[in-house]
Amino acid sequence: MSLAAIQSRLTAACAAHGRAPGSVQLIAVSKVQPLDRVVAVLDQGHRLFGENYVQESQAKWPDLRARFGPVQVHMIGPLQTNKAKVAVELFDAIHTVDRPSLAEKLAKLAQARGASPQLFIQVNTGAEPQKAGILPDDTDAFLTQCRAMDLPVQGLMCIPPEGADPAPHFAMLAQMAARNGLSGLSMGMSSDFEVAIAHGATHIRVGSAIFGARDYG
Ligand SMILES: *Cc1c(COP(=O)(O)O)cnc(C)c1O
């Protein structure tokens, strides 16, 4: 696969499901990828990336932004509260607001800076014990809490359980967003982004299908 191949699959999925072209943002997930692969995608004009680790992003994106100009980078990995300050300075969006203590920290930082990245609440749609995210039953209340802190919550994010049919999880997330008046839906990865588009995804997070397999060695 390649960036161009994924873009054309994205366009085809939008057409197939009556979605406006341009209503789905493609986040190229560059975590752990060799720099030359990231540069190749930047050279093709892509300007929206996703990262999972604050330190890796700090080492990479200030240089790449200096070289390529404005690039949007979204944090899609778990965020430790003690890295929140660096994160709000580095990222244009954080997709993993998953607990009250992090929301409180982000609210304090937003107040102090007079600005905040776009925020997505991560929902543990499969209620998996080992997975981060707000439980579905708690999400409406958590959102109310975030709004009371003036946090700019744009939408919801989920990672369906491994090996499960993702469709019911995407449908659940879309329903929760709709009933709460949220427009953003961060869902869909290399293996299931077309299903996510069918269910209303506004942000798909695609890594290996663009860059090739990740080598964690
Ligand atoms: C790594 C990662 C992705 C990209 O996964 P691929 O299967 O390589 O597309 C998407 N979302 C999250 C939260 C990730 O951690």
For domain 3-211, the CATH superfamily is Alanine racemase (3.20.20.10)
pLDDT recorded at residue 148: 97
Which contiguous run of DSSP H or E holds residue 78?
A: none
Ligand 1 close to Cβ of residue 53 (< 6 A): no
Q: What are the tens digits of pLDDT across the range 70-117?
A: 999 999 999 999 999 999 999 999 999 999 999 999 999 999 999 999
* % pLDDT > 90, the chain: 97
Residue 31: predicted pLDDT: 97
Pocket test for ligand 1, best of 9, 29, 79, 159 (most atoms within 8 A of CB): 29
State the distance from the centre of ligand 1 to the C-alpha of 158, rounded, in angstroms. Answer: 11
- Domain boundaries in the chain? 3-211
* Mutation probe of ligand 1 site: the residue of 31, 48, 76, 192 with most atoms within 8 A of C-beta: 76
Determine the pLDDT at residue 215.
82
Per the CB < 8 A criterion, the answer to whether 168 and 198 are in contact is no
Whether ligand 1 lies within 6 angstroms of the CB of 78 is answered as no
The 8-class DSSP code of residue 123 comes to B
How far apart are alpha carbons 182 and 176 in whole angstroms? Answer: 8
State yes or no: pLDDT of 217 exceeds 70.
no
Tell me if 77 CB under 6 Å of ligand 1: yes
Q: Enter the pTM of the model.
A: 0.97
